[in-house]
Amino acid sequence: DPYDIWLMKNHLGKNLQELINEGRIELNMVDGLILPNLKMGTNERCTFLNEEGRCDIHSARPGICRIFPLGRVYDENGFKYFLQKNECIKDNRAKIKVKKWIDTENIEENQRFILEWHAFIREVGNKVIDLRDTGKGERINDIAMFVLNDFYVSDVVGMDKDNKSKVYDRLINMIKISRESIDKLCG
């Protein structure tokens, strides 16, 4: 999500294009949108893992890595975490509270952002389907590029890594503004 990319860009001092050029991030089409994701290298291994299998960007790792081996299941009330029992190969696992495991600053704000972001992506995906179904498919590229540029290519929140406290609020505000812009693009 945009927060993950913001963290990585600030941590590594690189922009999205540099991360793509280095083979760390790739772009994929998901429900009519162009979204970045971690690029897997040899043997489907994350390109941020070093020779010892340790994460080179541990303090700025994406949310999916922060919660592993937990997963999320979404419903109309939000989401819940679940344990993917067979995904973690570590022996002698201990019980630990989910809140402590996730290792995310401002967990409540993070969860609020995740819900807003997923709702936004779902809404935009539905608009893309409607455009396709009504013969207005030429607008889909405009929407896809709008989301990619506004949330990933640009300086997402106009802040440096020392101002994390306001990132979620700014991203949620960007989502609200983007909904209006996308409605106009849909015509």
∠ Cα 12 15 21 (to 5°): 95
Give me the percent of the chain exceeding a pLDDT of 90: 39
Mean pLDDT of the region 154-159: 64
Q: What is the mean pLDDT of the chain?
A: 85
The per-residue pLDDT for 159 is: 56
The yes-or-no verdict on residue 121 having pLDDT over 80 is yes
Contact 87, 41 (CB under 8 A): no
> Rounded distance, CA 69 to CA 119, Å?
24
User: pLDDT over 70 for what percent of the chain?
Assistant: 90
What CA–CA distance (Å, rounded) separates 118 from 183? 17
Residue-wise pLDDT for 124-149, tens only, equals 999 999 998 988 888 898 999 999 99
The total number of residues shown for the chain amounts to 187
Q: For residue 38, is pLDDT > 70?
A: yes
pLDDT at 104 over 60: yes
